[in-house]
């Protein structure tokens, strides 16, 4: 787990100038890899690397050079991530092709697989990754990003070349070197206020983009980035006709998870696990305990009734038999830390849960260097409550289209906050119109009130259209899962997981997001995912002998953060101060925002998520556009707690 920087220039670089620019860009992301730093330059490319040493600690230094016997040193690789099947893949490459390796790590495995298997090698990798491979014979970079988007990869192209990096702020550092201008992307801002994140491949700077999840690419000096999607995330639903066939499916899920966790435990450092009150992290921790009897688990919570899973997690830890560490977060800590956390984010993500995640990651880093976590289970196995919506809205499907539209118009006349208004509105819409992921922050009429320039042509369907096209023959629940895999999961869940852990030089691994686990999960019929009584039905059946009973059928809490209460009290003056000092008037009607804050405080309506989204954007703008806010970024330093 590390941070990479790559500069591909159309003409031969002045070596020292280019290396100095890359060195500066690397300093912005030193938290991603404080153990080692390395740079390398060829005639048309410069690579820089910050390493967090996890596997083959004494070797596998990067940028790493590799080549076959007839062309030693032909390739140079920059690789961020972990390949969990690297031992098996190394053995195969050695047996079939006579591949030779000078290290015991996974980095060489990637470049050797590329040499012998070509671009298709990327489909053989089980892991999380973003990498660049320079082929000196072909004067070309081949790169790619893992299937689900666990590891980030930003890029920008200008008249003086193309830059890649694990963090956007490093690309911004290289803007002048590339000869590009940095401007706000108003369309991306509108998407952010709707979705609570900026959907891939965009960022809030119009010239900085992201390589999308499940995508490989090539670029030659002076050329453009050419991408190809290698992972379509197709669901191939299995027909289950009997209880015996269902039991066989549950067994396959269990074995896939067991195998994935075993491979995710591969490391030359101590591995711990996050543990909440839900089944996802609990099954991961229980399976990890089988490989590490001294496993340490970590939980975070709040000192407010109904907003903490600490007690449930502690009970689970005791039953699993692991050491358990708890970190409680206060409102004051949330306020004090948000500017620094926003700096780490690169682009705003209006998910309040990322703040306590940052705190527990910081605590965990005092004990371990790697943690496992349960991200991805909801998207793969049908865990979100909203996936039950097709059941509740089924009666609307029988209503003629014209009448459904009329019902939608009626809903607009019902005052905000009146019970049934949103049900009527959503029932009048098609699935494509109403579902765009788990977060729905600002609706269109609300956006018109806060945005200076509202563009009616910008729609959430811009982000979901392709996923819906690809899934048009699937059932509604599966289509919703597919949409989330390419929007919510990679735009919110995995961004906060990567940014908040790497901010603390902590590697986070997600065993649910494994190609083999997905292969089995993608076959589950909807009736074994969502029932009238529960979500993740098949997963619960598969892990019933692994997870403690008090967790197995527990309602999903979703890790709520008490900002609804805090924004009325402890956070009110702080929020008002952020709005008044912000220089975002060209984008946001600040008076409208202040009205939202006061309406929320008075209890007229719950505007907490909308207020939070605006506050995070204003802090982001103060850091990356105004240059007015300067978070103090600590040097990576981790005294180990015994």
Residue pair 164/6 in contact by the 8 Å Cβ criterion: yes
- Selected catalytic residue, list 1, 2, 567, 588: 2
Known catalytic residue: 2? Answer: yes
Report CA torsion sign: 587, 591, 592, 597: positive
Cβ–Cβ under 8 Å, residues 559 and 309: yes
Report the b/e string of 166-187 with b at 16+ CB within 10 A: bbbbbbbbbbebbebebebbbe
SS3 at position 471: coil
Paired tokens of 174: 């290289």
34 bridge partner residues = 51
Annotated binding site for L-glutamine: 106
Least Cα distance to 375 among 284, 441, 438, 445 occurs for 284
Residue-level length of the chain = 642
Contact 383, 536 (CB under 8 A): yes
**Phi first, then psi: what are they for 321, rounded to 5°?**
90, 45
Contact 486, 210 (CB under 8 A): no
User: CA angle at residue 273 from 278 to 373, to 5 degrees?
Assistant: 55
Dihedral sign of CA atoms 562, 564, 565, 566 in order = positive
CA atoms within 13 Å, Cβ hemisphere of 517: 29
In degrees rounded to 5, what are phi and psi of residue 508? -110, 130
Q: Per the annotation, where are the binding residues for ATP?
A: 373-374
Do residues 592 and 611 make contact, with C-beta atoms less than 8 angstroms apart? no
Which candidate, 259, 256, 173, places its Cα nearest to that of 208?
Answer: 173
What is the Cα gyration radius of the chain? 24
What is the Cβ-side half-sphere exposure of residue 274, based on CA atoms within 13 angstroms?
32
DSSP class of residue 451 equals B
Residues with catalytic roles: 2
């Amino acid at each position: 787990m590390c941070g990479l920087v790559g500069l591909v220039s159309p003409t031969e670089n002045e070596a020292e100038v280019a290396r100095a620019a890359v060195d500066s860009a690397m300093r912005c992301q030193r938290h991603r890899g404080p153990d080692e730093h390395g740079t390398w330059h060829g005639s048309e490319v410069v690579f820089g690397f910050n390493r967090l040493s996890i596997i083959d600690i004494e070797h596998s230094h990067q940028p790493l050079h590799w080549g076959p016997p007839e062309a030693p040193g032909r390739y140079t690789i920059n690789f961020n991530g972990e390949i969990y099947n690297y031992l098996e893949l190394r053995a195969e490459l050695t047996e079939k092709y006579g591949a030779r390796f000078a290290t015991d790590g996974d980095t060489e495995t990637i470049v050797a697989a590329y040499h012998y298997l070509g671009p298709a090698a990327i489909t053989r990798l089980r892991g999380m990754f973003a990498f660049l491979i320079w082929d000196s014979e072909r004067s070309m970079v081949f790169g790619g990003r893992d299937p689900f988007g666990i590891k980030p990869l930003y890029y920008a192209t200008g008249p003086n070349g193309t830059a890649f990096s694990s963090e956007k702020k490093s690309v911004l550092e290289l803007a002048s070197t590339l000869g590009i201008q940095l401007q706000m992307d108003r369309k991306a801002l509108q998407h952010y206020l709707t979705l609570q994140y900026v959907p891939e491949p965009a960022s809030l700077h119009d010239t900085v983009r992201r390589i999308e999840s499940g995508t490989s690419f090539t670029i030659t000096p002076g050329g453009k980035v050419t991408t190809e999607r290698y992972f379509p995330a197709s669901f191939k639903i299995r027909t289950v006709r009997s209880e015996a066939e269902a039991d066989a499916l549950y067994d396959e899920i269990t074995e896939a998870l067991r195998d994935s966790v075993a491979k995710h435990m591969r490391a030359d450092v101590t591995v711990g696990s996050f543990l909440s009150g839900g089944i996802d992290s609990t099954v991961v921790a229980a399976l990890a305990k089988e490989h590490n009897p001294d496993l340490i688990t970590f939980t975070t919570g709040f000192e407010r009734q109904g907003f903490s899973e600490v007690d449930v997690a502690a009970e689970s830890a005791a039953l699993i038999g692991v050491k358990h560490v708890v970190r409680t977060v206060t409102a004051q800590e949330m306020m004090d830390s948000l500017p620094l956390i926003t700096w780490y984010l690169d682009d705003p993500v209006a998910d309040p849960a990322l703040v306590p995640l940052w705190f527990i990651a910081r605590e965990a880093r005092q004990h371990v260097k790697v943690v496992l976590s349960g991200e991805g289970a909801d998207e793969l196995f049908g865990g979100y409550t909203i996936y039950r919506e097709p059941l509740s809205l089924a009666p609307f499907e029988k209503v003629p289209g014209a009448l459904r539209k009329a019902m939608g118009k009626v809903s607009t006349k019902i005052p905000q906050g009146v019970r049934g208004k949103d049900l009527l509105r959503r029932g009048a819409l098609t699935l494509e119109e109403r579902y765009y992921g788990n977060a729905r922050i600002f609706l269109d009429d609300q956006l018109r009130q806060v945005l200076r320039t509202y563009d009616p042509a910008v729609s959430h369907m811009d982000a979901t259209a392709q996923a819906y096209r690809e899934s048009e023959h699937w059932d509604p629940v599966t289509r919703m899962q597919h949409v989330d895999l390419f929007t919510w999961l990679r735009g919110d869940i995995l961004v906060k997981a990567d940014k908040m852990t790497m901010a603390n030089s902590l590697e986070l691994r997600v065993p649910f997001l494994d190609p083999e686990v997905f292969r089995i999960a993608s076959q589950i019929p909807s009736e074994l995912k969502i029932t009238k009584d529960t979500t993740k039905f098949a997963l619960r059946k598969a892990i019933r002998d692994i997870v403690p009973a008090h967790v197995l059928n527990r309602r999903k809490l979703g890790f709520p953060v008490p900002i609804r209460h805090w924004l009325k009290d402890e956070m009110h003056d702080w929020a008002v101060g952020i709005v008044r000092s912000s220089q975002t008037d060209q984008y946001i009607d600040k008076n409208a925002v202040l009205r939202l804050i006061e309406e929320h405080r008075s209890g007229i309506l719950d505007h907490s998520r909308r207020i939070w989204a605006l506050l995070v954007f204003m802090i982001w703008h103060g850091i990356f556009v105004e240059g007015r806010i300067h978070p103090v970024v600590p040097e990576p330093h981790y005294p180990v707690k015994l």
